[in-house]
Structure 1
Amino acid sequence: MARSGRPRGFDRDAALDSAMHLFWEHGYEGASLLTLRHAMGDISSASFYAAFGSKEALYREALTRYLDRHGSIIDALDDERLPPRARLEQALIASVAVQTDVAHPTGCMVTLSAMISSEASASTRALTRIERDATRQALRRCITAGVNAGDLDPGADVAGLVALYDGLVLGISIQARDGIPAETICAAIRHAMAAWDLHRSAPSNYGK
Protein backbone atom coordinates (compact mmCIF):
# COMPACT_ATOMS: atom_id res chain seq x y z
CA MET A 1 0.00 0.00 0.00
CA ALA A 2 1.40 3.38 -0.98
CA ARG A 3 2.32 5.65 1.90
CA SER A 4 0.54 8.99 2.05
CA GLY A 5 0.58 12.00 4.31
CA ARG A 6 3.45 12.89 6.60
CA PRO A 7 6.12 10.39 7.62
CA ARG A 8 6.47 9.57 11.30
CA GLY A 9 8.48 12.23 13.08
CA PHE A 10 7.64 14.99 10.61
CA ASP A 11 7.74 18.29 12.49
CA ARG A 12 6.01 20.95 10.43
CA ASP A 13 7.22 23.81 12.62
CA ALA A 14 10.86 22.71 12.45
CA ALA A 15 10.52 22.12 8.71
CA LEU A 16 9.23 25.66 8.25
CA ASP A 17 12.21 27.01 10.18
CA SER A 18 14.56 25.07 7.90
CA ALA A 19 12.80 26.39 4.81
CA MET A 20 12.97 29.95 6.13
CA HIS A 21 16.73 29.67 6.60
CA LEU A 22 17.17 28.15 3.15
CA PHE A 23 15.19 30.89 1.41
CA TRP A 24 17.03 33.48 3.50
CA GLU A 25 20.43 32.07 2.52
CA HIS A 26 19.83 31.17 -1.13
CA GLY A 27 16.80 33.17 -2.24
CA TYR A 28 13.55 31.91 -3.72
CA GLU A 29 15.04 30.63 -6.94
CA GLY A 30 18.18 29.22 -5.34
CA ALA A 31 16.15 27.00 -3.01
CA SER A 32 15.02 24.12 -5.21
CA LEU A 33 12.22 21.82 -4.16
CA LEU A 34 14.71 18.97 -3.78
CA THR A 35 16.98 21.08 -1.57
CA LEU A 36 14.02 22.28 0.46
CA ARG A 37 12.69 18.77 1.03
CA HIS A 38 16.15 17.59 2.09
CA ALA A 39 16.63 20.50 4.50
CA MET A 40 13.16 19.94 5.92
CA GLY A 41 14.02 16.40 7.01
CA ASP A 42 14.13 14.48 3.73
CA ILE A 43 10.37 14.61 3.50
CA SER A 44 8.63 13.06 0.51
CA SER A 45 7.01 15.06 -2.26
CA ALA A 46 3.62 13.88 -1.02
CA SER A 47 4.38 15.11 2.49
CA PHE A 48 5.66 18.43 1.18
CA TYR A 49 2.56 19.18 -0.85
CA ALA A 50 0.21 17.88 1.85
CA ALA A 51 1.81 20.15 4.44
CA PHE A 52 2.52 23.30 2.43
CA GLY A 53 0.67 23.12 -0.88
CA SER A 54 3.39 24.58 -3.10
CA LYS A 55 6.82 26.17 -3.05
CA GLU A 56 5.22 29.61 -3.31
CA ALA A 57 2.89 28.93 -0.38
CA LEU A 58 5.85 27.69 1.65
CA TYR A 59 7.77 30.85 0.80
CA ARG A 60 4.86 32.99 1.98
CA GLU A 61 4.80 31.17 5.32
CA ALA A 62 8.57 31.37 5.65
CA LEU A 63 8.56 35.11 4.94
CA THR A 64 5.85 35.68 7.54
CA ARG A 65 7.89 33.75 10.09
CA TYR A 66 11.00 35.73 9.23
CA LEU A 67 9.19 39.03 9.70
CA ASP A 68 7.69 37.90 13.00
CA ARG A 69 11.03 36.77 14.40
CA HIS A 70 13.76 38.80 12.74
CA GLY A 71 12.90 41.13 9.97
CA SER A 72 10.76 44.16 10.62
CA ILE A 73 11.97 47.51 11.92
CA ILE A 74 8.51 49.06 11.59
CA ASP A 75 7.55 48.62 15.25
CA ALA A 76 10.75 50.36 16.34
CA LEU A 77 10.17 53.24 13.92
CA ASP A 78 6.62 53.68 15.23
CA ASP A 79 7.57 53.48 18.91
CA GLU A 80 6.24 56.79 20.23
CA ARG A 81 7.89 56.28 23.61
CA LEU A 82 11.08 57.62 22.01
CA PRO A 83 11.77 60.87 20.14
CA PRO A 84 11.74 60.31 16.36
CA ARG A 85 15.50 60.67 15.90
CA ALA A 86 16.21 58.10 18.61
CA ARG A 87 13.62 55.74 17.10
CA LEU A 88 15.30 55.91 13.72
CA GLU A 89 18.84 55.45 14.98
CA GLN A 90 17.93 52.59 17.31
CA ALA A 91 15.90 50.84 14.60
CA LEU A 92 18.86 50.99 12.22
CA ILE A 93 21.33 49.76 14.84
CA ALA A 94 18.99 46.92 15.82
CA SER A 95 18.72 45.97 12.15
CA VAL A 96 22.50 45.74 11.91
CA ALA A 97 22.61 43.48 14.97
CA VAL A 98 20.09 41.07 13.43
CA GLN A 99 21.56 41.09 9.95
CA THR A 100 25.17 40.51 11.02
CA ASP A 101 24.31 37.75 13.51
CA VAL A 102 26.04 34.59 12.26
CA ALA A 103 23.65 32.38 14.23
CA HIS A 104 21.46 32.52 11.12
CA PRO A 105 21.93 33.64 7.50
CA THR A 106 23.22 37.20 7.29
CA GLY A 107 21.46 40.03 5.52
CA CYS A 108 17.73 40.58 5.18
CA MET A 109 15.43 37.95 3.69
CA VAL A 110 13.08 40.66 2.42
CA THR A 111 15.89 42.38 0.53
CA LEU A 112 17.73 39.32 -0.73
CA SER A 113 15.36 36.42 -1.29
CA ALA A 114 13.02 37.44 -4.12
CA MET A 115 14.03 40.85 -5.44
CA ILE A 116 15.52 39.42 -8.64
CA SER A 117 14.26 36.04 -9.77
CA SER A 118 13.21 34.61 -13.10
CA GLU A 119 11.27 31.78 -11.51
CA ALA A 120 9.42 33.56 -8.74
CA SER A 121 5.93 34.57 -9.72
CA ALA A 122 4.92 38.20 -9.76
CA SER A 123 2.82 37.61 -6.64
CA THR A 124 5.82 36.16 -4.79
CA ARG A 125 8.06 39.07 -5.75
CA ALA A 126 5.27 41.41 -4.72
CA LEU A 127 5.39 40.03 -1.16
CA THR A 128 8.86 41.41 -0.53
CA ARG A 129 8.12 44.63 -2.42
CA ILE A 130 5.11 45.22 -0.17
CA GLU A 131 7.30 44.77 2.90
CA ARG A 132 9.92 47.17 1.55
CA ASP A 133 7.17 49.70 0.82
CA ALA A 134 5.87 49.28 4.37
CA THR A 135 9.33 50.08 5.72
CA ARG A 136 9.48 53.22 3.57
CA GLN A 137 6.12 54.33 4.92
CA ALA A 138 7.31 53.75 8.49
CA LEU A 139 10.41 55.81 7.76
CA ARG A 140 8.19 58.57 6.41
CA ARG A 141 6.01 58.49 9.54
CA CYS A 142 9.08 58.68 11.77
CA ILE A 143 10.62 61.58 9.87
CA THR A 144 7.30 63.40 9.64
CA ALA A 145 6.94 62.96 13.40
CA GLY A 146 10.29 64.71 13.73
CA VAL A 147 8.92 67.65 11.74
CA ASN A 148 5.69 67.74 13.73
CA ALA A 149 7.61 67.61 17.01
CA GLY A 150 9.71 70.59 16.00
CA ASP A 151 12.94 68.60 15.93
CA LEU A 152 13.22 68.91 12.15
CA ASP A 153 12.71 72.14 10.26
CA PRO A 154 9.24 72.49 8.68
CA GLY A 155 10.95 72.76 5.31
CA ALA A 156 12.99 69.59 5.78
CA ASP A 157 13.26 67.39 2.68
CA VAL A 158 11.19 64.49 4.01
CA ALA A 159 11.20 62.57 0.72
CA GLY A 160 14.96 62.91 0.42
CA LEU A 161 15.52 61.75 4.00
CA VAL A 162 13.22 58.77 3.45
CA ALA A 163 15.21 57.81 0.35
CA LEU A 164 18.49 58.20 2.24
CA TYR A 165 17.51 55.99 5.18
CA ASP A 166 15.69 53.49 2.98
CA GLY A 167 18.85 53.14 0.92
CA LEU A 168 20.76 52.57 4.14
CA VAL A 169 18.30 49.87 5.26
CA LEU A 170 18.70 48.06 1.94
CA GLY A 171 22.47 48.55 1.92
CA ILE A 172 22.85 47.06 5.40
CA SER A 173 21.60 43.77 3.98
CA ILE A 174 24.16 43.66 1.18
CA GLN A 175 27.02 44.71 3.44
CA ALA A 176 26.06 42.17 6.09
CA ARG A 177 25.98 39.40 3.48
CA ASP A 178 29.39 40.55 2.24
CA GLY A 179 30.81 40.25 5.76
CA ILE A 180 31.29 43.94 6.55
CA PRO A 181 31.74 44.17 10.35
CA ALA A 182 28.79 45.41 12.39
CA GLU A 183 30.85 48.21 13.93
CA THR A 184 31.69 49.55 10.46
CA ILE A 185 28.04 49.57 9.40
CA CYS A 186 27.06 51.25 12.68
CA ALA A 187 29.65 53.94 11.98
CA ALA A 188 27.90 54.54 8.65
CA ILE A 189 24.62 54.91 10.55
CA ARG A 190 26.16 57.61 12.74
CA HIS A 191 27.27 59.47 9.62
CA ALA A 192 23.80 59.07 8.10
CA MET A 193 22.19 60.50 11.23
CA ALA A 194 24.18 63.68 10.58
CA ALA A 195 21.77 64.28 7.69
CA TRP A 196 18.93 64.45 10.22
CA ASP A 197 20.92 66.96 12.26
CA LEU A 198 21.50 69.14 9.19
CA HIS A 199 17.73 69.51 8.88
CA ARG A 200 17.17 70.33 12.54
CA SER A 201 15.32 73.36 13.78
CA ALA A 202 15.47 74.65 17.35
CA PRO A 203 15.95 72.00 20.08
CA SER A 204 12.77 70.02 20.66
CA ASN A 205 11.00 69.18 23.88
CA TYR A 206 9.40 66.15 22.24
CA GLY A 207 8.60 63.42 24.73
CA LYS A 208 9.20 65.60 27.79
Structure 2
Amino acid sequence: MAQMGRPRTFDRDAAITQAMHLFWEHGYDSTSLSQLKANMGSGISAPSFYAAFGSKEALFKEVMTRYLNSHGRVTESLFDTHLPPREAIERTLRSSAKMQCEPGHPRGCLVALGLMSASSAQAVAISAPLAEARARNRAGFMACVERAIREGELAAQTDPRALATVFESFLLGLTTLARDGVAHAVLDAAITQVMSTWDAARA
Protein backbone atom coordinates (compact mmCIF):
# COMPACT_ATOMS: atom_id res chain seq x y z
CA MET A 1 0.00 0.00 0.00
CA ALA A 2 1.44 3.36 -1.03
CA GLN A 3 2.21 5.81 1.74
CA MET A 4 0.39 9.12 1.74
CA GLY A 5 2.50 12.22 1.22
CA ARG A 6 3.33 14.42 4.16
CA PRO A 7 0.65 17.05 4.81
CA ARG A 8 1.44 20.61 3.78
CA THR A 9 2.78 22.50 6.78
CA PHE A 10 2.17 26.06 5.57
CA ASP A 11 -0.76 28.25 4.63
CA ARG A 12 -0.71 28.32 0.83
CA ASP A 13 -2.87 31.44 0.59
CA ALA A 14 -0.65 33.37 3.01
CA ALA A 15 2.44 32.10 1.16
CA ILE A 16 1.19 33.59 -2.12
CA THR A 17 0.68 36.94 -0.40
CA GLN A 18 4.21 36.77 1.02
CA ALA A 19 5.58 35.93 -2.42
CA MET A 20 3.62 38.83 -3.91
CA HIS A 21 5.28 41.23 -1.49
CA LEU A 22 8.73 39.89 -2.41
CA PHE A 23 8.14 40.24 -6.15
CA TRP A 24 6.57 43.66 -5.55
CA GLU A 25 9.59 44.84 -3.61
CA HIS A 26 12.39 43.32 -5.68
CA GLY A 27 10.98 42.52 -9.12
CA TYR A 28 10.85 39.11 -10.76
CA ASP A 29 14.49 38.68 -11.78
CA SER A 30 15.92 39.91 -8.47
CA THR A 31 13.73 37.68 -6.33
CA SER A 32 15.60 34.41 -5.91
CA LEU A 33 14.20 30.98 -5.15
CA SER A 34 16.15 30.99 -1.90
CA GLN A 35 14.48 34.26 -0.88
CA LEU A 36 11.08 32.86 -1.69
CA LYS A 37 11.64 29.62 0.22
CA ALA A 38 13.06 31.46 3.24
CA ASN A 39 10.26 34.04 3.46
CA MET A 40 7.16 32.08 2.55
CA GLY A 41 5.49 30.66 5.64
CA SER A 42 8.09 29.94 8.27
CA GLY A 43 10.42 28.80 5.51
CA ILE A 44 9.62 25.90 3.22
CA SER A 45 11.78 23.19 1.76
CA ALA A 46 12.51 22.90 -1.93
CA PRO A 47 10.33 19.77 -2.29
CA SER A 48 7.42 21.53 -0.57
CA PHE A 49 7.87 24.61 -2.77
CA TYR A 50 7.85 22.64 -6.00
CA ALA A 51 4.97 20.43 -4.85
CA ALA A 52 2.85 23.48 -4.01
CA PHE A 53 3.74 25.87 -6.84
CA GLY A 54 5.61 23.94 -9.52
CA SER A 55 8.19 26.63 -10.29
CA LYS A 56 9.09 30.25 -9.68
CA GLU A 57 7.41 31.13 -12.98
CA ALA A 58 4.16 29.39 -12.04
CA LEU A 59 4.19 31.08 -8.63
CA PHE A 60 4.63 34.49 -10.26
CA LYS A 61 1.59 33.86 -12.43
CA GLU A 62 -0.45 33.13 -9.31
CA VAL A 63 0.95 36.27 -7.70
CA MET A 64 -0.09 38.38 -10.69
CA THR A 65 -3.61 36.98 -10.55
CA ARG A 66 -3.77 37.75 -6.83
CA TYR A 67 -2.51 41.31 -7.35
CA LEU A 68 -4.77 42.14 -10.30
CA ASN A 69 -7.80 40.86 -8.40
CA SER A 70 -6.99 42.88 -5.28
CA HIS A 71 -4.64 45.87 -5.22
CA GLY A 72 -4.78 46.20 -9.00
CA ARG A 73 -8.51 46.92 -8.94
CA VAL A 74 -7.88 50.57 -8.05
CA THR A 75 -8.24 51.44 -11.74
CA GLU A 76 -11.70 49.91 -12.14
CA SER A 77 -13.32 53.36 -12.04
CA LEU A 78 -12.01 53.93 -15.56
CA PHE A 79 -14.46 51.33 -16.83
CA ASP A 80 -17.52 52.47 -14.88
CA THR A 81 -19.61 54.26 -17.50
CA HIS A 82 -22.07 55.36 -14.81
CA LEU A 83 -19.40 57.77 -13.55
CA PRO A 84 -18.78 61.08 -15.33
CA PRO A 85 -15.50 60.70 -17.29
CA ARG A 86 -13.61 63.28 -15.23
CA GLU A 87 -14.68 61.65 -11.97
CA ALA A 88 -13.71 58.21 -13.27
CA ILE A 89 -10.16 59.38 -13.99
CA GLU A 90 -9.76 61.37 -10.78
CA ARG A 91 -11.09 58.52 -8.66
CA THR A 92 -8.63 56.12 -10.31
CA LEU A 93 -5.66 58.41 -9.65
CA ARG A 94 -6.60 59.06 -6.04
CA SER A 95 -7.35 55.41 -5.31
CA SER A 96 -4.06 54.34 -6.84
CA ALA A 97 -2.03 56.95 -4.94
CA LYS A 98 -3.64 55.86 -1.68
CA MET A 99 -3.01 52.17 -2.36
CA GLN A 100 0.61 52.76 -3.33
CA CYS A 101 1.36 54.57 -0.07
CA GLU A 102 -0.61 52.47 2.39
CA PRO A 103 1.15 50.28 4.96
CA GLY A 104 1.08 46.51 4.89
CA HIS A 105 2.76 45.99 1.53
CA PRO A 106 5.63 47.49 -0.52
CA ARG A 107 5.11 51.00 -1.85
CA GLY A 108 4.43 51.58 -5.51
CA CYS A 109 2.48 49.49 -8.01
CA LEU A 110 3.35 45.98 -9.17
CA VAL A 111 1.66 46.60 -12.53
CA ALA A 112 4.13 49.42 -13.17
CA LEU A 113 7.15 47.71 -11.57
CA GLY A 114 6.89 44.03 -12.45
CA LEU A 115 7.80 44.04 -16.13
CA MET A 116 10.10 47.05 -15.95
CA SER A 117 12.25 45.26 -13.41
CA ALA A 118 12.40 42.11 -15.53
CA SER A 119 15.30 41.78 -17.92
CA SER A 120 15.34 38.19 -19.10
CA ALA A 121 13.25 37.10 -22.09
CA GLN A 122 11.56 34.49 -19.90
CA ALA A 123 10.65 37.09 -17.27
CA VAL A 124 9.24 39.42 -19.91
CA ALA A 125 7.14 36.57 -21.31
CA ILE A 126 5.60 35.54 -18.00
CA SER A 127 4.99 39.19 -17.07
CA ALA A 128 2.69 39.61 -20.08
CA PRO A 129 -0.43 39.97 -17.86
CA LEU A 130 1.10 43.08 -16.29
CA ALA A 131 1.71 44.59 -19.73
CA GLU A 132 -1.87 43.68 -20.61
CA ALA A 133 -3.10 45.42 -17.45
CA ARG A 134 -1.22 48.58 -18.42
CA ALA A 135 -2.67 48.39 -21.93
CA ARG A 136 -6.14 47.97 -20.44
CA ASN A 137 -5.65 51.05 -18.26
CA ARG A 138 -4.39 52.97 -21.29
CA ALA A 139 -7.54 52.07 -23.17
CA GLY A 140 -9.62 53.07 -20.13
CA PHE A 141 -8.13 56.55 -20.01
CA MET A 142 -8.69 56.91 -23.74
CA ALA A 143 -12.30 55.77 -23.47
CA CYS A 144 -13.00 58.33 -20.72
CA VAL A 145 -11.58 61.19 -22.78
CA GLU A 146 -13.39 60.11 -25.94
CA ARG A 147 -16.67 59.79 -24.03
CA ALA A 148 -16.23 63.30 -22.61
CA ILE A 149 -15.66 64.69 -26.12
CA ARG A 150 -18.75 62.90 -27.45
CA GLU A 151 -20.87 64.19 -24.58
CA GLY A 152 -19.64 67.75 -25.04
CA GLU A 153 -17.77 67.97 -21.74
CA LEU A 154 -14.43 68.46 -23.51
CA ALA A 155 -13.79 70.65 -26.53
CA ALA A 156 -14.22 68.90 -29.88
CA GLN A 157 -10.65 69.74 -30.90
CA THR A 158 -9.19 67.95 -27.85
CA ASP A 159 -6.55 65.39 -28.83
CA PRO A 160 -7.84 62.31 -26.97
CA ARG A 161 -4.59 60.36 -27.15
CA ALA A 162 -2.52 63.25 -25.86
CA LEU A 163 -4.85 64.00 -22.95
CA ALA A 164 -5.23 60.33 -22.04
CA THR A 165 -1.43 59.99 -22.07
CA VAL A 166 -1.13 62.87 -19.58
CA PHE A 167 -3.15 60.90 -17.04
CA GLU A 168 -1.61 57.51 -17.82
CA SER A 169 1.90 58.98 -17.50
CA PHE A 170 0.95 60.51 -14.17
CA LEU A 171 -0.43 57.18 -12.95
CA LEU A 172 2.78 55.38 -13.88
CA GLY A 173 4.89 58.15 -12.35
CA LEU A 174 3.15 57.75 -9.01
CA THR A 175 4.99 54.47 -8.59
CA THR A 176 8.45 56.03 -8.62
CA LEU A 177 7.41 58.78 -6.23
CA ALA A 178 5.69 56.40 -3.84
CA ARG A 179 8.70 54.05 -3.92
CA ASP A 180 10.95 57.03 -3.11
CA GLY A 181 8.86 57.80 -0.04
CA VAL A 182 6.97 60.87 -1.22
CA ALA A 183 4.08 61.40 1.19
CA HIS A 184 0.56 60.49 0.13
CA ALA A 185 -0.62 64.03 0.91
CA VAL A 186 1.84 65.40 -1.64
CA LEU A 187 0.71 62.93 -4.31
CA ASP A 188 -2.94 63.65 -3.58
CA ALA A 189 -2.35 67.41 -3.95
CA ALA A 190 -0.53 66.76 -7.23
CA ILE A 191 -3.62 64.93 -8.52
CA THR A 192 -5.65 68.09 -7.94
CA GLN A 193 -3.13 69.95 -10.06
CA VAL A 194 -3.04 67.40 -12.88
CA MET A 195 -6.84 67.41 -13.09
CA SER A 196 -6.62 71.09 -14.05
CA THR A 197 -5.34 69.79 -17.40
CA TRP A 198 -8.79 68.31 -17.93
CA ASP A 199 -10.48 71.54 -16.89
CA ALA A 200 -8.38 73.53 -19.37
CA ALA A 201 -9.75 71.36 -22.18
CA ARG A 202 -13.41 71.81 -21.24
CA ALA A 203 -15.83 72.76 -24.02
Query: Which residue does the alignment assign to 1:25?
Result: 25
User: Which TM-score applies when normalising by structure 1?
Assistant: 0.89
Give the CA deviation at 1:50.
Answer: 1.5
User: Which TM-score applies when normalising by structure 2?
Assistant: 0.91
Does residue 11 of the first structure (1) align with residue 11 of the second (2)?
A: yes
Give the CA deviation at 1:120.
Answer: 5.7
Give the CA deviation at 1:71.
Answer: 1.4
Give the CA deviation at 1:116.
Answer: 3.2
Query: Where do 5+ consecutive residues of structure 1 fail to align?
Result: 202-208
Aligned with 1:77: secondary structure?
A: helix
Identity %: 43
Give the CA deviation at 1:63.
Answer: 1.1
| 2:75–2:96 CA contact under 8 A, matched in 1 | no
Moved over 6 A (4+): none
Does residue 93 of the first structure (1) align with residue 97 of the second (2)?
A: no
Deviations 1:52-92 (A, max 9, x none): 11111111110111111111344211122221101111110
How do 1:2-81 residues align onto structure 2 when only pairs under 5 Å count? Answer: 8-41=8-41, 42-81=43-82
Deviations 1:128-187 (A, max 9, x none): 211111110111111111112211112211110111111101001110010101111112
| 1:140–1:158 CA contact under 8 A, matched in 2 | yes
Aligned with 1:128: secondary structure?
A: helix
Query: Which residue does the alignment assign to 1:168?
Result: 170
**Amino acid of the structure 1 residue aligned with 2:59:** L
Query: Where do 5+ consecutive residues of structure 2 fail to align?
Result: none
**Amino acid of the structure 1 residue aligned with 2:187:** I
Which has the larger displacement, 79-88 or 122-131?
122-131
| 2:93–2:171 CA contact under 8 A, matched in 1 | yes
Does residue 117 of the first structure (1) align with residue 118 of the second (2)?
A: yes
Aligned with 2:18: secondary structure?
A: helix
Counterparts of 1:144 and 1:7, CA distance in 2: 55
| 1:5–1:46 CA contact under 8 A, matched in 2 | no
**Alignment root-mean-square deviation, CA:** 1.8
How do 1:109-148 residues align onto structure 2 when only pairs under 5 Å count? Answer: 109-119=110-120, 121=122, 122-148=124-150
Counterparts of 2:39 and 2:5, CA distance in 1: 18
Aligned residues: 199
**Amino acid of the structure 1 residue aligned with 2:50:** Y
